[in-house]
Structures are given as C-alpha cells and as structure tokens.
Structure 1
Amino acid sequence: MLISAVELAGLQLPKLPNSRQGIEYHAKKNNWPFEEVVGQARGGKLKKYLVSALPSEIQAAIQEKQAATLLAKVPMLPAEVKKPLRQNKKMRQLGLIPCEEGLARLDDRQTETAHARCAIVAYVLPLHELAGMPIKKAVAFVAAEATAGRLPEDVAKLIPLANARNNGERSLSEPTLYRWVRAYRAAPDSMSRLLALAPVKTREKTPLLAIDWLPYFLMFYQRPNKPTMMAAAKKLAQWYLEQGKIEQMPSYDQIQTVMKRLPEHMKERGRRTGSAYKALLPYIDRDWTALKPNDVWVGDGHSFKAKIRHPMGYLFTPEVTMIVDGCSGAVVGWSVALSETAVAVADALRHGMTHFPPPLGYYSDNGSGETGDMLDKETTGILPRIGIEHFTGIPGNPQGRGKIERLWQTITIPLAKQYATYQGKDADAETLRRVSNALASAQKVQKKGKELSKAQEAALAAAPTWAQFMADLEEAVRRYNFEHEHRSLPKNPETGRHFTPMKYYEYRMKTDGMRVKTDVLSPLELDFMYRPEEERIPDRGAVSLHNNTYFHQGLLDYSGQKVRVAYDIHDADHVIVKDMQGKVICKAVFNGNKRAAFAETRMEQLAERRRKGQAKRLQDKMDLIEAQRQSATPIIEQQPDFGEFLKLETESGGLVEVENRPSESGKGKKKLRDFLWEDAG
C-alpha cells in the first residue's frame, strides 16, 4: 500500500507534521522508502511512501484513522421505517403533488436511468409473454445479445444509461437484467416501476447535455466535408482564443472520450445527408387498415409558416406538434414550443393522454427532431413505463407518415395564410421581402428601446399575438376533428357523407371498441410526464411566467434562487416548480396569493342588509301608487287660498263669492269645482 505526503498530512496524525512540506522533510530526514508514480504530480512524478516500511507506531495510527473514516461512511439504519407520504387535507390545500416521498426526491438523472431500464425490460417481456420463453431464458437471451452487440440500436444505446456507470459500457449482465425484470413485474403501477428501477444516488457521469463545449465542437465537426476530430479540435481552440475563453478549451483526450459516448447517428448528423444518413436509421412500414381506435398514435412536428408574437414580445416561428389516432386520423393531442430549445412532442403526448386513454403504440419519425437527446430521455422512458411501444420510421420521409403529413395542408398552412406574416413557399416574393424587412426593423428598434415609427407599429400589429394564435389553432383543430369530411374515411351509413375524423373515432369506438380497454391517466401520472420548462427566480413565494403570477408557500425558501417552472400551454391554472436538479418543489397556483379584501361572509351580510332596505323602499312606493289608483279623486297635497282673489273679483262683478266656512261636521266645505262663473252684466 502506498500513501502520498498530501494524504498523510490530511490524516492529521499526532506524531507527524500537518503540512505536505513538513511530511516530505520528515520522510527525507528518516530515509522513508518511496516510489515515484508517473503522471500524477506537477513535475510528472509523485512520491508515494510504502506504508509497510514506515515505523510501526505510524502504521498503527494510519490504520486507526482509515478505520474511523470507513466507519463514518457506513450509513446508519433509521430508527423507524417511515410510511409512504400520502395526500392529506393540508397537502390538498397547499396544492402539493400527491406522490410517494421517494418518488418526489428523484432527480433527473435517476429518472432517466429508471426510464432506460423500463425500456430494456419492455424489450425482454414480449419474449416471455408472446413467444412463451421462460423469463430466465428470455433474460439470458437478451443479455447475450447485448454482449454480442446484436441488439437494435435504439435498445443498445440505452444500456450505458441504464447501467448508470461512467465507462459507457454496453454490456449487460444477466443477474442485473433479471433484477430489473423482477422489480418491474412486482411493481403494481407505472409510478411504482419508476421508483423501483431508479438507482441509488452515486457519483454520476456528466450528461452530454451538460458538457458546455460539446455543441461548439460539433459546430466544427458536423460538416459535409467530414473533418477529423483533430481538425475540428484545432478549429475549436482557435474559436475559444478569439472569444477570450481559451481556459475553457477541453483536452483532446476529453473530446475523444465524449465522442465515444455520442451515438453514431448524432455524430454523423451534418456529415452525412440524404440516403447516406438515412442508412443509419431503421425503416418500418406500417399498414393502417386493420387498426382499431387507440391502437397506434402518430406524431410529427411542423414549423408554422408565419411569424407570431411571443408572450415576451419578440417575433418567432413556433414549432407545432400534433398527435393523431392512426385508425381515424382524429387529432388527439397537440402542443406548441415557445422556444427553439423546448421539445413539444412529449408535451403533445401528455396533452393527448389527458383526454384519451393511452395507445398501444406510438409511431414517429426517427430523425433529429424526434430522437434528439432530450426527447430520447423523455419519451423513450415514458412510453414503456405506461405500456406504449415506440415505432419509428425513416427520418424526412413524408410518405411514411402520410396520415399526419396531410394535416399541415388542412390545418396549419391555411391558418398561416390568414396572417399577414405568412412566409410559405407560395408567398409573393416582393411582399415577403417587404414584410420581413419591416418586421426585422421593428424588432431591432424594439430591442434598443427606441420609439417605433408608424410603419413599424403597423408591421408589429399585423403579427398575431400568442393568445390569438393559440385560440385560432385550437379552433382550426376543432373544425378539422368535427367538421372536415375526410375523403379517405368511409361514408357514414346514416348520412351517406364521409365521416369527420372525430365522428369516425366515436363510431369505431361504439362498433369495435379498443383492443385493450384502458382508462385515462391519473392526474399524478400526467404531472410526472414531460412539460416544457423555463427558468425563473421566485420572489416572496411567487414566480412569474408568460405575464401570469403563480404562488405557493413552499417557494418562500427558494427566494433569489433559480428554479425550473414546468407549464402546460393548454392550462394556465397552475405550474409545477422543480429545483435545478429536477426535484419537485410544489404545484404553484395562478394568483394563489390573492384574497378578498374583507371576509366573504361579512360582505355578504352587508349586501343582504342593503337588499332588504331596497326591497322595503320599493314596497313603500308600490303602496303609495296603489293608494292613488284606488282613490276616486286626485290627492292635492296643498290647496291654494283664493280668498283675496275672490273678493277683488266680486267687487268688480266678475265672480260670486260662495261661503266656504268649515264646520265641525265637515258640512259646508266647498271644493274648487263649487265656484260657478256668472255673468255680472
């Protein structure tokens, strides 16, 4: 056993100096035997001393220190086993996600590994359940195929992630795989499978997405002229030098190590094109005629052919993703990416499973958009966990997905043509140039914070807002599902006209039903599916996203820290907030910190008092009106005194005064009608 001066100094032995220099001086003075290890010191050689040749008292002290260190690392068993965390009244009030305590503590890396293991187990089980092979033989067969490198690429590339090792090894041992299969089969539901197959937290390999220099290296490596790794590394070094960041330049050994981990189809993207690149990916031909509802869903993405105003104010081209039912062609789910880095496919799948039972299979392109690193980690694990098989086709081959490719001509392209910012291939070149220049000019002025001209204001006003675009797209999808009579669908026997997609879906559900009856996913399962995320910094328990404010008491502890906010573009009532490692913090509610200025019951009491007062005053008026109606003569509230007037008129011979003296009995009273005009002459 060898030990260095630094390690000896770190042990803080009572009979030795506490610094490296002191240890080296003491060792030289006492002629301690040593060996020089190459490549581990500043000068290229590191002195390490032979423990067995050291004085006995020093050997004993070293052993005691090392034993104490090892004992300190042994985990202590808990005094009692905690029961699984269940949803209670307080959790419902605070909006916490009802999930097991262990499940809520999983970070992204553990979840990704569990997803990969689910996918591999899903490859083993058909050999047992469909082919009738004993489970142990099925495990042994898959393990042998993995060792020989004969597994399909989409399964083989998951093995390094499932192994959770740093060496990127693709071999798979039989006992390990059998342990995964047993855990998978013993779990009662999909969430329990995720928890059962998640690895214990250990030192983990840096994910490819976390390697900062990799995108810049691939920028020089993924070119049609096929530069070597050394040539691309030199270009990268020159670029870092120009940027003033040469200290961030990785070594050539680091580049080689990371490139070995990169899947072949990702390394060759940009270096090969057309059929040469397609040769790296499998081709699957599917017949849709015999499908039943929810047998297979088909998904694809499409760049919207018009500029839209982002919720943050700038213009962008949204990426629309739609999921259709293979049997009927009905759109069951859709999503729109708010940023170029967001992946909308998994979000569209989650939207579809919110309203419809999960399908037996999901069919998609196997190109860059669908097999990007982020999407692989999300859907490849999510689908097997829910029991969905993932079918893939040739990338960039529209004939392979004609059922969904026709959607763009029916839904999104006609919608884009309604906007002044339309940028399709058939747009007028001069108009497109003028509109593009006006939009670019307006955006540039807007970024500088200057005042827009009238022409620039008009250009921006012509671009639809995010809310308008979402409402229009939702309406376009509704019209397609319920009003568009699809010629490829059979005719409705009741009307004699072609079915609409959703009507045909409902018709087939009534006549044939699903091949396997499945319920819609629970809210818990939907919460743990992929959602697009954005980074935010909470302030006093609230986070702002897309001009909305979401609140939760649990965010108070994260004030001033970055968090990840997962949102649903179809439902802005709440968001799921995670820390930067992916652990769930809470479910924040829209305007969750708003309360009535006064107690609702007190306000209702005051309102009721006012209503009673208004009713009483109204009744008094009605009583007065009724009394006036029943009276034979009108009520004169004040009768004028004509005494002086009558005397004057009598003296002049115009009128005769009639005595009108009141009596106790009331007789002798005269009304104004009792005065008669007489001719004095």
Structure 2
Amino acid sequence: MLISAVELAGLQLPKLPNSRQGIEYHAKKNNWPFEEVVGQARGGKLKKYLVSALPSEIQAAIQEKQAATLLAKVPMLPAEVKKPLRQNKKMRQLGLIPCEEGLARLDDRQTETAHARCAIVAYVLPLHELAGMPIKKAVAFVAAEAAAGRLPEDVAKLIPLANARNNGERSLSEPTLYRWVRAYRAASDSMSRLLALAPVKTREKTPLLAIDWLPYFLMFYQRPNKPTMMAAAKKLAQWYLEQGKIEQMPSYDQIQTVMKRLPEHMKERGRRTGSAYKALLPYIDRDWTALKPNDVWVGDGHSFKAKIRHPMGYLFTPEVTMIVDGCSGAVVGWSVALSETAVAVADALRHGMTHFPPPLGYYSDNGSGETGDMLDKETTGILPRIGIEHFTGIPGNPQGRGKIERLWQTITIPLAKQYATYQGKDADAETLRKVSNALASAQKVQKKGKELSKAQEAALSAAPTWAQFIADLEEAVRRYNFEHEHRSLPKNPEAGRHFTPMKYYEYRMETDGMRVKTDVLSPLELDFMYRPEEERIPDRGAVSLHNNTYFHQGLLDYSGQKVRVAYDIHDADHVIVKDMQGKVICKAVFNGNKRAAFAETRMEQLAERRRKGQAKRLQDKMDLIEAQRQSAAPIIEQQPDFGEFLKLETESGGLVEVENRPSESGRGKKKLRDFLWEDAG
C-alpha cells in the first residue's frame, strides 16, 4: 500500500508534521522508501511512500486513523436484518399479515389472478347456496364441466389467468378449486378475499438492507467527483483485498443489478449536494393565495444571459433584481446592476415603493447582496426604518423561492434569446464561440483606442445598448404584469380565464384590501432611499452621466472635485448629487441650465408683427392691381428679377447681398437701388 505526503498530512498524525512540506522533509531525513507514480505534481511525478516500510508506530497510527474514518463513513445497519415474512395461505387466514400491508405488496399480475379466482369461486357458490348441492360436490361438478369444456365462455377464459402459470394451462383441478373456495369463504370482506386468493411469489428479491456489500460500495460511489460505477467497484475490490475478505467481493454484474434497484435519491446522495440534491427530494408546495396584497414581497437576483453594452462603452453581463408581490406574483419593482449588490436590491425595493405601498415583510435568499448592512442594520437599514420584516431563505434552497425563480423563465431568458449575444445553456456552442471571440476582439481593439474593422463594428452593434436593454426589459415586465395569464392564479369570474398578475393584484385589493392600510412613500422619503451611484467631477455647475447633462447652481462650488451621483434607471429627469462623505449637495435636473436663446414672449411679438406687415403689403399690391385695371393701363405680365442688382461685388470678386435699407433723408436724385428697395418693401 502506498501513501502520499498530502494524504499523510491529511491524517493529522501526532508523530508527524501536519503539512506536505514537513512530511517530505521528515521522509527525506529518515530515508523513507518511495515510488514515483504519474500524478498531479511537479514534473508529472508524484512521490508515494511504502506503508509497510514505515516505522511500526507510524503504520499503527495510519491504520487506526483509516479505521476511524471508515467507520464514520459507513452507514449504520440494523443489528439484525430479518427476512421479510413470506406470505402463505395460513398466515393470511390467521390474520398474521395486515390487510393493508398485504395488498400494498401485490403487483398487477397478482391482483388480476386474485380477481379471476374470485370470479370462478362466485360461479361455484350458487350451486351450494341456491341449489343445495354440498360444497364438495359443487366443486367437483364445476371441475368436471371445465374438463369437458362445457363452462360458459366468460368463465372458461378466466381459468388460464387464475392458474397463474406461464404456459397458460386451461385445466382446472378439483383440489385447487376447493382451496380457492375455502379461502374465499374464510375471508371476512372483499379486501380479505382478494388478499387470500392472490398467488404468493415463490422468489422474493433480497431487500436492499440485507445486501452486506452495498453500504461499502456506496462509500466509494457517493462522492462529489461522481466516479463511474466501474471506478467505484475497483475501489471496493481494493478495500476488500486490504481487509482480507476478497471472497465477499461481489461481481460487477451483481453491482449493476442492485444499483438498478436503488432509488435515484439514494444513488445521488453525496454525488449531488445543496439545491441539486434537494431537487430529487419531496417538497412542500406553498399556498401564496392565503396572503393578502403587500403582505410579503419576494426578491431575487439573476445574471442576464446576454452581453449588453455598458453606458461607458464596454460589454458586460448585467445583474437583474426583481421584486414580486407574494399574493399575486406581480412584479412591483426591478433594478439592473453590475452585480447582485445590496444597492441593486435596495434600488429595486425603492422602485417598488415608488408605485406601491411598502410590504409587511420582504423574503429573499441569504446572499451577500440581500443581507448587506444597508438592508438590515438597525440604525441605517432601509427595511427597519420603514418597518419591514426581512425573512431569509435556507442556504442552498432556491425551491423555497420558487415563485420568483420561475419568473426568469418567463421574462428575462426569453428576452435574452432575442439578442445575438445570448449565452444561455441551450445556445449553440459554435455560434456562441464565434460571437464571443468577435466581441472579445472588438473590445480589445476598443481599449487600445484603435479603429475597429467592419467585422468588429458589426459584432459590437449586435450587442444591445444600455438604453435599448432597459427599454426592452421594461416592456417585458409590462407584458408579464398585464398580458401574461398565469396558470397558478385563479380564473377571473367575469372573463373565465386565468388572471394576469397585475389584474389579480387589483382584484384582491378590491375584494380583500391590505392587511394594514399604508400609503405610498412620499418623494422625499424615496429620495433618501439607496440608489446606484457613480463618481463624477462637476464642471461649471453641471455633471454628465450616461450621456445626459444635469445642472444645479449648488454644484458650482464643487467644480473639479469628485462627487457621488445617485441615479434612477427608471427616471432620468434628475439625479441626487452627494459629496464623497455622503452629504446631499443638491438634486440636479436634466438640462437644467438650458434656456431659450431669446425670451419666448418677445419672439412671439416679433413674429406677429411680421405677419401683420406681410398682410398689409399683400393688400397694397391687390389695391394697385385693381387701380390699374380701372384705368385700363397696361399691366406688366412679368416683372424682371432684380435680385442680382441687390448684390454688390467685393474686391475679391465675390457677391454680397445689400442688407442696409437706403436712408430716406438722402439728397439728390434717386438711384436705381432706391427704387428697388421701395418695390421690395
């Protein structure tokens, strides 16, 4: 038997060092013999020491430690495994086997055989009870009729089934029929008759608990690294060899046969852990309809299964946090962040409380984001401050929050599949590889500040922008709340169809109302709840965030200094700006410093004056035309275009339009330009 330094250190023997390096130094110092085997070590060679060549006290310590470990892992077996009671006629007639237990052991073939025997006996009894024939003569008569083939067809076809023979024998002997009749008459009720006439199996399978080698095999098979059945069988053979009990070792065929009988949850125990193993076990289906609206909100985070373009330009996988009402399943709030942090959860809660009254309790898992100080800490946490009880689930038990776990399959995963950057488990591996490589290449070039190729630009354009993703997610949540008819919800008595989550929320609010009437939080209370933040440097009273500009006069004193900008992904009209210590500076408004170039009222006055002037000039021309018609003066059908006369040639040879009107106070004769100005007026 060989043992490595790591294995020796893991045994924590009192006479040896407790580290691998210490064991190797001790072995080298005392010249322990070793062999080099292929393994995960430097140079691909692993040193293993020969146990039989080690000092006797170390050998004894190793054996004691291995024995203690083995006994701790072997499942406890009953002190004495009793063979199951074999059912026979006398035991059933004497009532030694409880009726319910006996019936539970019957398979379909035994039950069908018992029914056929009962039907044949029921054909015999009227001869005795109605015709007065002795019971033995009645049995002999029916047996003779069966041998002669004179029984009714419906009774005769039951004989092969009643005989319970593989050869389908159609004969019916008198002693056999008499035993059936006696057992039938001795039974007190119909269930007892069925049990009394059911055939007993001649060969019962050995109970699993009676298989001596099974617990030892499972010791090697039920491991998280999921060894194959053959690998575990080899380990078992080696263990029997070391114990000197090789004759008790089962064959591989025996192992396969027994493992087929073993239930799935027993085979996978130890091979699966946490929620993966609990998925094989029974569960409790919670009745959420017993709650009232806003009694409990349920929250959870989920990594979106597609790449998104961050507002800063790079690609990332956003973390979506959603809050649903426990009663109706309606999504009351949601948020998106780089990871499932407490800020993301708090922002989703704030979004929910913007439109709905605060709940009595909030139920979530116990991840770091969900149980952060800003949620629960008595002095600053938002939940205690608002009077909300925080319930956390059992670690590794997502089944307890199945109400929201199913939500991802309905909202976010279908949305992610609409994008070319989808990276779910069912995505095509080759397409995913190509898309991932193209995105990685584009990001690498982008970071270096180089120009993107057309292929790289196409790859980046396939990833949705932050604004597009937020808009799509908002629409997906709206469709779920108002259009998705949920099968777990009751049917609408008016429409005869299942309620949508938001419709059921409104219906329960009308019929039951809230347990404690509470108003929606005020804007001031919402402003002092946690929001996602980013650091920015104001410039002349304005800060830029996500390609938007926010202004406030109070930011002028912080020009060139870092500030924290708290924003709402659902409302870009304003942001809350704080200093780096968290003190609120102001509420900056989107484009708050944008003003009209001129006063709106003055521009409207000038426009109105121009409209009146145009109308007056048009009327003067109409009066002139009418006067010319009356005087029969010739009318010029087409006036020449004097536009070129209104341009002056510059020294460089270019033309500029004449903008200044000639002064009316000019002396002397009028020039052509003066007449043109008058006509243009």
TM-score (norm 2): 0.51
Q: Is the alpha carbon distance of 1:613 and 1:663 closer, same or farther for their aligned partners in structure 2, counting shifts above 3 Å?
A: closer
Q: 345-354 or 368-377, which moves further after superposition?
A: 368-377
Query: 1 CA distance for matches of 2:366 and 2:542?
Result: 40
Relative to 1, partners in 2 of residues 1:327 and 1:670: Cα closer, same or farther, differing over 3 Å?
Answer: closer
C-alpha displacement of 1:94: 96
Identity of aligned residues (%): 99
Deviations 1:622-670 (A, max 9, x none): 9999999999999997999999999999999999999999999999999
Structure 2 distance, partners of 1:360, 1:142, is: 77
CA distance in structure 2 between the partners assigned to 1:290 and 1:531 by the alignment: 33
Do the aligned partners of 1:661 and 1:668 also contact (CA within 8 Å) in 2?
Answer: no
User: Comparing 243-252 with 147-156, which one deviates more in the overlay?
Assistant: 147-156
1:494 is displaced (CA, Å) by 1.4
Answer yes or no: is the 8 Å Cα contact 2:342–2:369 preserved in 1. no
Secondary structure class of the residue paired with 1:32: coil
- Indicate conservation of the 8 Å contact 1:346/1:378, yes or no: no
The worse-fitting range, judged by mean Cα deviation, of 162-171 and 244-253 is: 162-171
Structure 2 CA distance for partners of 1:149 and 1:643, relative to 1, 3 Å: same
Partner of 2:552: 552
Q: Structure 1's 651 and 461: CA in aligned 2 closer, same or farther, altered over 3 A?
A: closer
Distance 1:548 1:189, change over 3 A: farther
Give the equivalent residue in structure 2 for 1:634. Answer: 634
Q: CA deviation at 1:264?
A: 34
Provide closer, same or farther for how the CA distance between residues 513 and 307 of structure 1 changes in structure 2, counting only shifts above 3 A: same
Shift of 1:183: 83
Shift of 1:406: 1.4
Whole-Å Cα distance in 2 between the matches of residues 98 and 227 of structure 1?
43
Tell me, in whole angstroms, the C-alpha distance in 2 between the residues paired with 1:190 and 1:460. 76
Identify which range, 229-238 or 181-190, moves more after superposition.
181-190
How far has the Cα of 1:126 moved from its partner?
75
Tell me the alpha carbon deviations over residues 483-529 of structure 1, each in whole angstroms, 9 at most, x when there is no partner. Answer: 11111111111111111111111111111111221111101100000
- Work out whether residues 107 and 581 of structure 1, in 8 Å CA contact, stay in contact via their aligned partners in 2: no
Is contact 1:540–1:555 with CA below 8 Å preserved after alignment?
yes
CA spacing shift, 1:313–1:50, aligned 2, 3 Å: closer
Of residues 79-88 and 599-608 in structure 1, the stretch that sits farther from structure 2 once superposed is 79-88
Paired with 2:323 and 2:439, the residues of 1 have a C-alpha distance of 32
Q: How far apart are the structure 2 equivalents of 1:186 and 1:62?
A: 65
1:549 CA drift (Å): 1.2
**Distance across 1 between alignment mates of 2:415 and 2:377:** 33
Further displaced range: 293-302 or 182-191? 182-191
Question: Is the counterpart of residue 116 in structure 1 residue 116 in structure 2?
Answer: yes
* Separation in structure 2 between the aligned mates of residue 594 and residue 171 of structure 1, nearest angstrom: 106
Cα offset, 1:59, TM superposition: 74
Which secondary structure does the structure 1 equivalent of 2:657 belong to? coil
Shift of 1:478: 0.8
Shift of 1:402: 1.3
Distance 1:671 1:145, change over 3 A: farther
Question: Over aligned residues, Cα RMSD in angstroms?
Answer: 28.7
**440-449 vs 373-382, greater mean Cα deviation:** 373-382
**Structure 1 pair 601/501, CA: closer, same or farther in 2 (3 Å)?**
same
Report the CA distance shift for 1:206/1:603 in structure 2 as closer, same or farther (over 3 A): farther
**Residue 311 to residue 53, structure 1, CA distance change in 2 (3 Å):** closer
The 8 Å contact of residues 95 and 588 in structure 1, kept in 2 or not, is answered as: no
Change (3 A) 1:515 1:305: same
Q: Kindly indicate whether structure 1 or structure 2 has the higher relative contact order, using CA contacts under 8 Å at least 6 residues apart.
A: 1
CA contact (8 A) 2:648 2:658 kept: no
Q: For the residues of structure 2 that align with 1:597 and 1:97, how far apart are their CA atoms?
A: 100
Q: How many residues align?
A: 681
Moved more, 284-293 or 340-349: 284-293
Structure 1 pair 606–78 and aligned structure 2 pair: CA distance change class (3 A): farther
Q: Distance in 1 between matches of 2:379 and 2:168?
A: 21
Shift of 1:551: 1.2
Query: Does the 8 Å CA contact 1:119/1:380 hold for their aligned counterparts?
Result: no
Q: Bigger shift: 107-116 or 585-594? A: 107-116
Deviations 1:317-358, CA, capped at 9 Å, x for gaps: 011111111111111111111567673110010001111111
2-structure distance, mates of 1:78, 1:129: 52
Deviations 1:550-606 (A, max 9, x none): 111111121222111111001111111111111111111111111222222212211
The offset of 1:611, in angstroms, is: 3.6
The answer as to whether partners of 1:658 and 1:675 remain within 8 angstroms in 2 is no
* Equivalent residues of 2:325, 2:331 under 8 A apart: yes
Deviation (angstroms), 1:33: 67
Q: Answer yes or no: is the 8 Å Cα contact 1:535–1:564 preserved in 2.
A: yes
- 1:375 Cα shift? 4.8
- Alpha carbons of 1:360 and 1:427: their partners in 2 closer, same or farther (altered >3 Å)? same
* Counterpart mapping for 1:205-216 below 5 A: none
Q: Is the 8 A contact 1:660 1:669 kept in 2?
A: no
Unaligned runs of 5+ in 1: none
Alpha-carbon distance in 2 for matches of 1:122, 1:351: 75
Q: Contact 1:363–1:391 at 8 Å: present in 2 too?
A: yes
Report if aligned partners of 1:646, 1:655 keep a CA contact under 8 Å in 2: no
TM-score, structure 1 as length reference = 0.51
- Partner SS state of residue 99, structure 2: coil
Relative to structure 2, which stretch is displaced further, 440-449 or 253-262? 253-262
Look up the SS of the partner of 1:589 in the other structure: strand
Of stretches 300-309 and 352-361 in structure 1, the one that deviates more from structure 2 is: 352-361
Question: How far is 1:434 from its partner?
Answer: 0.7
Does the CA-based 8 Å contact 1:2-1:51 persist in structure 2?
yes
Q: Shift of the alpha carbon at 1:312?
A: 0.7
Q: 1:342 touches 1:532 (CA, 8 Å); kept in 2?
A: no
- Residue 638 and residue 600 in structure 1: after superposition, are their counterparts in 2 closer, same or farther (change >3 A)? closer
Higher mean displacement: 98-107 or 399-408: 98-107
The structure-2 alpha-carbon separation of the partners of 1:209 and 1:493, relative to structure 1 and needing over 3 Å to count, comes to same
CA distance in structure 1 between the partners assigned to 2:169 and 2:555 by the alignment: 40
Greater displacement, 510-519 / 127-136: 127-136
After TM superposition, the structure 1 stretch with the greater mean CA deviation from structure 2, 104-113 or 579-588, is 104-113
Aligned partner of residue 513 in structure 1, secondary structure: coil
Taking structure 1 as reference, are residues 141 and 305 closer, same or farther at Cα in structure 2, changes over 3 Å only? farther
Shift of 1:607: 2.3
Deviates more, 1:391-400 or 1:334-343: 334-343
Offset from partner CA, 1:395-419 (integer Å, 9 cap, x none):
4422111111111111110000000
Deviations 1:446-483 (A, max 9, x none): 00011111111110010001111111111111111111
Work out the CA distance in 1 between the residues paired with 2:398 and 2:16: 74
